[in-house]
Amino acid sequence: MSLDLNQNDLSHVVAADRAHVWHHLSQHKPYETADPRVFVEGKGMRLWDTTGREYLDGVSGGVWTVNVGYGRTSIADAIRDQLVKLNYYAGAAGNVPAALFAEKLIQKMPGMARVYYSNSGSEANEKAYKMVRQIAARQHGGRKWKILYRDRDYHGTTIGTLATSGQDQRAAQYGPYPDGFVRVPHCLEYRAQWDVSNYGERAADAIEEAILREGPDTVGAIVLEPITAGGGVIVPPEGYWPRVQEICRRHGVLLIVDEVVCGLGRTGTWFGYQHYGVQPDIVTMAKGVASGYAAISCTVTTEAVFEMFKDDASDPMGYFRDISTFGGCTAGPVAALENMRIIEDESLLENTVAMGDRVLENLRALQEKHPAIGDVRGKGLFCGAELVADRATKEPLDEKRVQAVVAECLAQGVIIGATNRSLPGLNNTLCLSPALIATQDDIDRITDAIDKALAKVAG
């Protein structure tokens, strides 16, 4: 079937979509009287829909994924060639691209050693949780089974990962959840929970308080995003991460870093945790690993974690008894190899730092102009602007007005994101995550659209 479609064909596509597709994160009642948006083509940072309208994508595919931009023929060609040669074999055996990408990935992650493949960020985190539980059973008599997670962080859509959702609206209506998951406070200084000078260290100390409250002999791990993503683009305050590392080591708590959003260059380093000088025990990743050209996720561990699952066969239950069917697909790792080559050869980490500075500079200029911007924060091409109704009291701008800003940008042909239906009363942060290929003109167009939208919506 050819996908070079004329306008009649495209009209049929839209009708088929309305009739049969169940969209993610969408209320479908409006589609009874209006057509859903259906995209047809992407190139660089541009998208075109079935009406022929062009958009500048400021969120890398809607969910922070298409890091190297649309239309990369070299990735598509690599996938095609690999699929003809060998498309799949279950992950109980190896394949060439999986071995080569694991080797290249580990070179970017000093201190890490082993790569476990699956096919989504949710699944990557679920694997990490299962590792913690099995380690508890094998090494600690079942005692160190609890996993801490942070308010406002998000780790996936499965029941297990939703049990660690720090976003109450995301988790609502899907419980009851399994036991053993314990929330710790967020670290957003703009919404300070303590009046102290060393806020980062104080926020980290709240983790130790939770460990002591639960009992150190019961806590096996903590899972944290290096920079909170959908919870409001929260960059941890100075001193936070080193103190977290210290606390984890003192109490024998494994540190799981969820790099599903930040991984593969989004913040200007290969991984977000690498800004902070910490050594995780487990790192999970997905979205940007192959820039959305193929499904792939990785749960990466230290050799010490891996060794806990090796046995001389005296224990037939001693190995990691897990499988991810599509973790055996070869398209993911071959796409990831080419994706990483592009990032290296085109110096996209350096571009991310430079263009990220431009985003923050522009947003701070808008903050001086628009009282509705209460706080600007971010790192690399991962930035947020928290909107408020009153800058003095920090009263959040109503979610409907925040979404009106997003809609007004869309009307200008610019796609941006915002926290929505995640944090009760605090869905008020605009989120920007343009592709790592962004130019200064792209950045300026995105922030100009926000400028006009704020003037229209927020006054």
The runs of H, that is alpha helices, within 140-226 are: 159-162, 168-171, 199-214
In terms of domains, do 340 and 351 share one?
Answer: no
Q: How confident is the model at residue 2 (pLDDT cuts 50, 70, 90)?
A: very low
State the residue range of the domain holding 58. Answer: 37-68+347-457
Residue 315 lies in a domain: yes
Where a domain ends, among 345, 362, 386? 345
For residue 3, pLDDT beyond 80: no
Once rounded to an integer, what is the mean pLDDT over residues 241-249?
Answer: 98
The helix (run of H) or strand (run of E) holding residue 396 is strand 395-396
In terms of domains, do 286 and 413 share one?
Answer: no
The predicted pLDDT at position 312 comes to 72
Residue 370 lies in a domain: yes
Kindly report the pTM of this predicted structure.
0.97
The whole-angstrom separation of Cα 184 and Cα 235 is 16
pLDDT tens column, 59-116: 999 999 999 999 999 999 999 999 999 999 999 999 999 999 999 999 999 999 999 9
Task: Count up the domains in the chain and report the number.
Answer: 2
Tell me how far the alpha carbon of residue 381 is from its chain's centroid. Answer: 13
Buried b / exposed e across 75-108, counting CB within 10 Å, b at 16+?
Answer: beebbeebeeeeeeeebeeebebbeebbeebeeb
In terms of domains, do 114 and 60 share one?
Answer: no
In terms of domains, do 220 and 120 share one?
Answer: yes
What is the average pLDDT score of the chain? 96
Residue 12 lies in a domain: no
Do 428 and 397 touch, CB atoms closer than 8 A?
Answer: yes
The helix (run of H) or strand (run of E) holding residue 181 is strand 181-184
In terms of domains, do 298 and 357 share one?
Answer: no
In terms of domains, do 53 and 109 share one?
Answer: no
Do 418 and 337 touch, CB atoms closer than 8 A?
Answer: no
For residue 346, pLDDT beyond 70: yes
In terms of domains, do 108 and 255 share one?
Answer: yes
Once rounded to an integer, what is the mean pLDDT over residues 152-165?
Answer: 97
The whole-angstrom separation of Cα 372 and Cα 377 is 15
Q: How confident is the model at residue 8 (pLDDT cuts 50, 70, 90)?
A: confident
CA angle 217, 222, 227 (to 5 degrees): 160
The predicted pLDDT at position 402 comes to 98
For residue 192, pLDDT beyond 60: yes
Tell me how far the alpha carbon of residue 55 is from its chain's centroid. Answer: 22
pLDDT tens column, 34-49: 999 999 999 999 999 9
